[in-house]
Chains A and B, each alone.
Chain A
C-alpha cells in the first residue's frame, strides 16, 4: 500500500452529497447491477461520474467492506454514507441499496411459497441454480487469484474450504481455528517487510 499522501485529502473538491443524493445513488446502483457486478458500477458512478471518492479511498473502502462482517455492498454503502453525512448518511445509503430489492425478493418469496412454483418454474430454477453456483465459485476464484504466489494463503484457503465442506464445521469454529494463525503469519510478514526495508 502506498504510504505517500494523506488519507484526509477529500476527493476532487466535489460538494458533499446530501442524504437524498446518497439514497438515490445507491438505489440506482443496486438496480443497474441486477445479477452482479456492483463493484464495477460503484466505481464508475462514485469515482468517475460523481467524484465523491478518489480511487485510493474507493479501493481502501472496498477492502474494508470486504474484510468486515456483513454483505460487502451494504458495508460499502455504509462507508460512503458515513463518510459524508455520518450515521444518517450511512442509513440513507443502506436504505437506497436495500429497500427496492427487499420488496422484489419478498414478492418472489410470496410467489414461490404461497402460489406454489410450477414444475416448469422448478426446472428453470435448477438451471438458474447451476449458474448461481458458478457465480459464487467464480467470485471465490477471482478473489483467490491474487493469492497464487502466497503458499500460506493458499493453505488457509484450502483449510477453510475443507473445514466447511469435508468436516462440516460451523462457521464460528472455522474462524476461531484459522483466524489466529492466519493473523500471526500475516503480522510476521508485515514486520519482516518493515524490518528489512525492502519488499519481497
Chain B
C-alpha cells in the first residue's frame, strides 16, 4: 500500500535522522542493512549505485535517502523520506544551537565533542567499507578505491574531476 510505504519510509528515516551522529554517512551501514537486507526495497547493487550518485551530486550528504524514497513510492516517497531524514535532526540542531551559544568552552561541551569524535570517525570509515563490499569490485576496483582514498586524503583536489575520471575508467572497462 502506498500510504503504508510512506509511513514505513518516514518512520525508518525519521529514526535514522536522530541516530546519524557524525554525519549522515555514519548511518549508511544501517541504511543498507534495513533497506536491502530487511525490507528488500532495493538490491545491494542498486544501493551502491545510488550511494555513488548521491556522493557525486551537489547538496547535503544524505540525498541517497530521497532516491531510496523515490524507488519505494515515487515523488511522494522521495519527499517523505527526505523530510523525515532532515526534520528531527534539524529541530534538535535548532534547540541545541540556542543552548550552545551560551555555553561555549564549558566542560560538558568540550567532553561531549571529545567523546563522540572518534566514534564518528570509525563509523564514517565503516560506511566506505560497506559500500565497497556491496559493490562487488574486482581487484582493480579495490585498487581504484585505494588510489582515490589517497588522492582525497592527501591532496586538496576538487573531488568532482576524480569522480568523473573514475567513471570514465569504469565505462572503458578498466575498473
Contacts and interface: CB of A to CB of B under 8 A. Distances in A.
Nearest to A134: B148
Closest 4 CB pairs of A and B: A127-B170, A101-B59, A134-B148, A160-B122
23 contacts: A1-B105, A2-B105, A67-B113, A73-B59, A106-B78, A109-B78, A124-B167, A124-B168, A131-B145, A131-B148, A132-B131, A133-B128, A137-B128, A138-B151, A141-B125, A144-B125, A147-B118, A147-B121, A164-B29, A164-B123, A164-B126, A178-B119, A187-B115
Considering residues A102, A126, A191, which has the most beta carbons from chain B within 10 angstroms of its beta carbon?
A126
Interface of A: 1-3, 7-8, 30-31, 33-37, 60-61, 63-75, 78-79, 82-83, 87, 90, 94, 97-98, 100-102, 104-106, 108-110, 112-113, 117, 120, 122-144, 146-147, 150, 152-165, 168, 170-172, 174-175, 178-179, 182-183, 185-187, 189-191, 194
A150 B100 CA distance: 26
Considering residues B17, B60, B153, B171, which has the most beta carbons from chain A within 10 angstroms of its beta carbon?
B60
Given A68-B21, A94-B90, A157-B121, A117 B149 contact: no
A102 B63 contact: yes
Contacts of A132: 51-52, 55-56, 131, 163
B19 interface: yes
Nearest to A170: B30
B56 A128 contact: yes
B99 to A, nearest CB: 10
Considering residues B102, B112, B165, which has the most beta carbons from chain A within 10 angstroms of its beta carbon?
B112
A170 B15 CA distance: 13
A168 B32 CA distance: 11
Interface in B78-104: 78, 82, 86, 88-90, 92-94, 96-98, 100-102, 104
A196 to B, nearest CB: 14
A101 to B, nearest CB: 2
Nearest to B147: A134
Interface string B5-25: 000000000000111111111
Contacts of A157: 118-119, 121-122, 125
A176 to B, nearest CB: 10
B117 A153 contact: yes
Given A68-B93, A157-B125, A33 B58 contact: yes
A70 B24 contact: yes
A162 B130 CA distance: 12
